[in-house]
A and B are shown apart, each in its own frame.
Chain A
Amino acid sequence: MNVELQINNSISPTARFVSWAPSPCRIRMTNPSGATSPSVNVRIAGSSAAAGGAVVFRRNTTGAFSNSLTVPVPITGTSVPFFVAGRFGRPSINNEDVRIEARAGTTLVGSVRVMVRIRKNANTLTAAERDRFVAAFAQLNNQGAGRFADFRDMHTQVSSPQAHGAAGFLPWHRAYILDLERELQAIDPSVSLPYWRFDQPAPNIFTREFLGVSDTIGTVQFSSNNPLQFWRTDGVQGINRQPFFSTGGAPPGLFTEAQTLALGNQYRAFRDMEFNPHGDAHTSFDGSISGIPTAAKDPLFFLLHCNVDRLWAKWQRQLGRFNPAQAASYDSSPGNPIGHNLPDTMWPWNGITGSPRPPTAPGGAMAASPCVSAPGPQPQVRDSLDYQGSVNSVSRLGFDYDDVRFA
């Protein structure tokens, strides 16, 4: 007897990644030999090492999760749906470090290996996680000749009104870092974008093995085994970044997480975080990252924005602000510029050029994911809000943060 387990409703191994938000799955009988009734009760459970990821299950779109699930599987081959999610607090460390097993009685009748792929605090990554991320990032850039050049070109002075200074600041950057993360995952699917929690000391980020150590004039130095030593953008070698704080500590003057989350219950108040902590985190340095035209030249920029996005995600979870139809979830002021209204498509993924959009649209459509269908190739602002699929499960964007629950 054998069953087939489909993760994210797919038989493809590339879809075997889950997060805290439940992934739709199916189980079906592929070989009913030995079955003596029209259906067989199959117990589905996760198996993993103590430090690795862990998963939980539920039968339907709502209800409590449990460590195992027993479902009757018809011998006809008809699929039976169920849901799997990472157990909060137990993200994977390596790809495929969780095995989902299906048993009929005590007999193993099917299994797949999955990863609970979660965005983590960059300061606490394992050396292997750090090295995989750095290698994927360096490969994406490929010395300025790779796909990363599009991401660099998306975030410039000319394009900045699409992404800054109005309500769409957070949704645009959520789409931007998601697009980048998906490209990193196309290189190494075990990678997720880590965040720089800028209100806490993060000494492990500012090392020669990770994002480099700045010398006295702000030229960033890397160890000889770090592929970021080959970093190049705009035809120019290296990274310039000079912190105004000791990298053993946190930048002074930035709102803490608690202060940021207390900015207000309405999105229009919360989005003031574009100044502090976001803007202040950027200007905690001299160098590329301190200004819009050059910020994306520095890989740290993406970790900074991952934390900005995490703060928004946390605020959304705290107040239930996922539904674009609820006024408090977004600032739909009549004066919003184009690209900042919920139904607007976002540049550059929409490919629209010419005033009031920028003259070019680098990078093409949003990268697709083998795990989820949202936000689609040309996302609208509204598509960024329900990132966990809390309001509508098909809106799930396929990422989660290590400290932001699904529910």
Chain B
Amino acid sequence: MAKKRQATKRSTSARRPKRSARSAMSVATNARKTVKERVAALAEVPVAVCERDENLQAVLKVLRDKDEPVNVRLAALKSLQTASFSVVAFESCRGDYIGTLREVAEDSDPEIRQRVLGILAREKDGYAQKKLLEGLQHPEKALVPAEKALQLLSYDVHADAYPIARSIVSKPPNAAARREALRLLAADASAAPVFEKLLRDKDELAEIRQISASALQALKPEKLRAHAREMLLDTSEYDDIQVTSLTALTQFGGEAVAKDEALMKRVDRLRGKASTKVKQSARRFLDKYGR
């Protein structure tokens, strides 16, 4: 028995090479310590958070406390996130965790708000989704920039987000918001015509046309195949779009592509006379179809 205790003690000390959990908790929650010391201590406490409720409550308190330095609060948040991976141990305190995150979602610090809303959005938290949508509809209430709100709403897309996304596409506050609105709309089957138009618009940014190709592949794959074919046959098309077309047809093309002699001939020509990137993609395409 004595031997067993000794073995356990040895492994416990080995797994915490720096200091004991108690000592780390003590530093993490001590406002007289430096920010650097507390951030380092908070990185060590996830096990302790899972082991004792009082430790969890102490770290939640640090996160909630607006008088604490932002970096210390962010370190507390990261520590809680790491602890939350240990589901069985963390489950009993999950309610307190989510409750605290909601409380902090409207914090005065933008980074804390954004990080917390991100966690809640990934949990498909209705409260966070409501706040994000409200911020898009009424920018004066926005807790995060429009592009971030759209990105976070895409973790659990609801139809009520589509109208505002469409309105942002037509009148975007910035390029990133337009892009994220398009990504969100890629889940909306009725948006296929929007993506067709953007895909074929040579004045659009390559990134927007790539997003449109991807959206169309999901919403109307036969449409993308047709457009990709046309864009490959179009000698005035940009390299990046030709490469995206080749990649789409290599990954998702089928029998019809394999039998398309005009297309094969064109890609064979691209393999010989094009930029390195196009040549490489043309080779992959022809390998796929046994040419």
List residues of chain A with CB under 8 Å of any chain B CB: 131, 135, 138-139, 142-144, 157, 160-161, 164-166, 215-219, 221, 223-227, 229-232, 234-238, 240, 253, 259, 262-266, 268-270, 272, 274-276, 278-280, 282-283, 286-288, 290-294, 337
Contacts and interface: CB of A to CB of B under 8 A. Distances in A.
Contact of B183 (A160, A238, A268, A269): A238
Interface stretch (B59-67, B162-170, B245-253): B245-253
B14 A264 contact: yes
20 contacts: A135-B251, A157-B123, A164-B88, A219-B179, A223-B277, A224-B241, A225-B247, A230-B214, A234-B155, A235-B187, A237-B183, A264-B10, A264-B15, A268-B11, A272-B15, A274-B85, A276-B44, A279-B81, A283-B78, A293-B124
B157 A236 contact: yes
Nearest to B187: A235
Contact of B11 (A266, A282, A283, A294): A266
A217 B118 CA distance: 11
B210 A224 contact: yes
B109 interface: no
Chain B, interface SS category: helix
Contacts of A262: 14, 17
A274 B17 contact: no
Given A164-B85, A272-B47, A227 B250 contact: yes
Interface in B260-288: 277, 280-281, 284
Nearest to B147: A217
B178 to A, nearest CB: 12
A208 B122 CA distance: 25
B213 to A, nearest CB: 8
B126 to A, nearest CB: 14
Interface string B108-135: 0000001100110011100000000000
B187 A224 contact: no
Nearest to A232: B218
B186 interface: yes
A291 B91 CA distance: 14
Contacts of B81: 279, 282-283, 290-291
A264 B207 CA distance: 49
A274 B84 CA distance: 11
Nearest to A164: B87
A224 B90 CA distance: 42
A96 to B, nearest CB: 16
A279 B214 contact: no
B83 interface: yes
A282 to B, nearest CB: 6
B217 interface: yes
Q: Which residue of B11, B85, B210, B250 has the most chain A CB atoms within 10 A of its CB atom?
A: B85
B244 interface: yes
B251 A225 contact: no
A224 B86 contact: no
A288 to B, nearest CB: 7
Given A232-B218, A237-B218, A293-B123, 10 more contacts: A142-B252, A165-B85, A219-B179, A225-B247, A225-B280, A235-B157, A238-B214, A262-B14, A264-B11, A269-B15
B123 A291 contact: yes
A294 B155 contact: yes
A290 B10 CA distance: 32
B15 A263 contact: yes
B84 A292 contact: yes
Nearest to B214: A230
Contacts of B2: none
Q: Which residue of A143, A215, A216, A262 has the most chain B CB atoms within 10 A of its CB atom?
A: A143
Contacts of B235: none
Given A225-B277, A229-B214, A164 B86 contact: yes
Nearest to A254: B43
A283 B80 CA distance: 10
A224 B211 contact: no
Contact of B82 (A157, A217, A221, A280): A280
B183 A279 contact: no
B245 to A, nearest CB: 9
3 shortest A-B CB distances, which residue pairs? A269-B11, A165-B88, A264-B11
Contacts of A221: 207
